[in-house]
């Protein structure tokens, strides 16, 4: 979608140099852009909803009007409703398992059916927004640049010992799903460990850190453990899905980090 928008914003003269099928593709992308709805918070922040169509899956973007960041949507984005993963804001009243998705860590931006009102919800917080007039929105989007989501890793496993030391394993997203990172420490003070090697198979994972004397073993059947110079420290597995607000708000890994969502500036 980012590439498509880049093509949309190309000068008109460039269209004439492309073969007919490319011109048609760009015009189709322009139609997608025409369908976009934009909401503003009055403080220089904008959320863009590009609804799902037979030709397009739908998209969300958030930014300052000059640069927009792609927001990974949850479900299908419509012209009036866009949901997104937001683990920093928790909504205890939401469904914890709707078709496999925990909506307690899902926030959204919604427009009224007549496009006259707009609201951003971050967890339990409801924040009024203002719909941007269609022509103004088109001009804003034509001049802007677009970038992918800044989120490259996600929590994969969380463990702790009997002294309250946590061990968070992150895994890369998409094409980087074979990349891992490890953070260890007390709550709010975790630090990233430098790894030398990763062994992963059907039985679990072994992460060897720099120096070769520290190993985190995540076992699928037996208790996991942390190895320091051949001495094993048993660890208790902490369910990631049930502790996302804790991981993102209290553990310390994501403190101050921007996830590229409309809730970044709340």
Mean pLDDT of the chain: 84
Distance of CA 111 to the CA centre of its chain: 22
Which tokens sit at 60?
A: 């969300």
Q: Say how many Å lie between the first and final Cα of the chain, rounded.
A: 26
Kindly report the pTM of this predicted structure.
0.82
Q: Are 166 and 160 in contact (CB under 8 A)?
A: yes
β partners of residue 59: 50
Q: Are 198 and 206 in contact (CB under 8 A)?
A: yes
| The predicted structure's pLDDT at residue 35 | 86
**Which helix H or strand E contains 183, and what residues bound it?**
strand 180-185
* Separation of alpha carbons 26 and 163, rounded Å: 58
**Which helix H or strand E contains 226, and what residues bound it?**
strand 224-228
CA distances from 194 to 128, 198, 206 (A): 44, 11, 14
Domain ranges in the chain are 27-147, 153-251
| The predicted structure's pLDDT at residue 30 | 62
* Separation of alpha carbons 83 and 72, rounded Å: 9
| Residue 164 burial by Cβ neighbours in a 10 Å radius (0-12, 13-18, 19+) | exposed
Q: Are 129 and 40 in contact (CB under 8 A)?
A: yes
| Residue 18 burial by Cβ neighbours in a 10 Å radius (0-12, 13-18, 19+) | middle
* 40-73 tens-digit pLDDT: 999 999 999 999 877 777 889 999 999 999 998 9
SS3 7: helix
* 126-176 tens-digit pLDDT: 999 999 999 999 899 988 888 899 999 999 999 999 999 999 999 999 888
In the chain, the largest separation of any two C-alpha atoms, in whole Å, equals 69
* Separation of alpha carbons 58 and 13, rounded Å: 28
């Amino acid at each position: 979608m980012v590439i498509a928008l880049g093509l949309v914003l190309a000068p008109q003269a460039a269209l004439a140099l492309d073969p007919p099928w490319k011109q048609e593709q760009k015009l189709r992308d322009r139609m997608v852009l025409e369908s976009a709805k934009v909401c503003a918070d009055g403080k220089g922040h904008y959320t863009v909803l590009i609804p799902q169509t037979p030709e397009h899956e739908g998209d969300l973007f958030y930014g300052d009007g000059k640069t927009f960041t792609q927001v990974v949507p949850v479900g299908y984005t419509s012209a009036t409703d866009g949901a997104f993963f937001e683990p920093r804001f928790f909504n205890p009243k939401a469904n914890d398992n709707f078709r496999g998705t925990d909506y307690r860590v899902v926030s959204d931006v919604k427009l009224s059916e007549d496009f006259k009102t707009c609201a951003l919800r971050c967890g339990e917080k409801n924040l009024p927004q203002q719909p941007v007039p269609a022509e103004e929105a088109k001009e804003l989007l034509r001049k802007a640049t677009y970038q992918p989501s800044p989120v490259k890793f996600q929590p994969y496993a969380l463990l702790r010992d009997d002294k309250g030391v946590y061990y968070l394993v992150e895994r890369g997203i998409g094409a980087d799903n074979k990349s891992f990172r490890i953070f260890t420490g007390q709550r709010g003070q975790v630090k990233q460990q430098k790894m030398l090697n990763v062994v992963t198979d059907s039985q679990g994972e072994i992460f060897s850190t720099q120096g070769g004397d520290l190993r985190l073993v995540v076992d699928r059947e037996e208790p996991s453990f942390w190895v320091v110079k051949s001495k094993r420290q048993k660890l208790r597995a902490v369910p990631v899905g049930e502790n996302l607000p804790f991981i993102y708000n209290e553990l310390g890994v994501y403190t101050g980090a921007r996830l590229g969502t409309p809730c970044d500036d709340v």
